[in-house]
Amino acid sequence: MSGLTHIDETGRACMVDVSDKAVTTREAVAAGFVRMAPATLALAVSGEGKKGDVRAVAEIAGVMAAKRTSDLIPMCHPLAISKVEVRVDPADDGLAVTARVKTTGQTGVEMEALTAVSVACLTLYDMLKAAEKGMVIEAVRLVSKTGGKSGDWTA
């Protein structure tokens, strides 16, 4: 009806049946950015904030989020994730967040990578909001994906 994979022929939302898809190695990379004032960035990089090492906590939160994606996004399949790597690195005007997620299965890990980045960014905001309420979470996006029927893709 719509050409969307999560909408059936009657227009109802549905989980995609992946049982006939080939098992392949699949990987996705996502990125995001938290824009902040220089003083807030210095606090985040120092690791000496009141709540501890905010970058390390955000990285762990991102890993945990990737593993729980199917609990948050209704039509996502629960996946056996083989690797999740989340990095929070200082950049001009803020913190850059990247997530790399890998599995071997019948469906991709794009949503897991995007969820990891989103939750890591939200964790940074939560842990730094006492220093600055005006931070901006931006540019959460898929950077690349490999594997599966649709093949490789890069932004």
Residues with catalytic function: 126
DSSP 123-149: HHHHHHTTT-S--EEEEEEEEEEE-ST
Cα of first residue to Cα of last residue in the chain, in angstroms, is 28
Please report the sign of the dihedral spanned by the C-alpha atoms of residue 80, residue 144, residue 119, residue 42. positive
Joined together, the tokens standing for residue 5 give 């994979």
Please report the sign of the dihedral spanned by the C-alpha atoms of residue 127, residue 129, residue 132, residue 137. positive
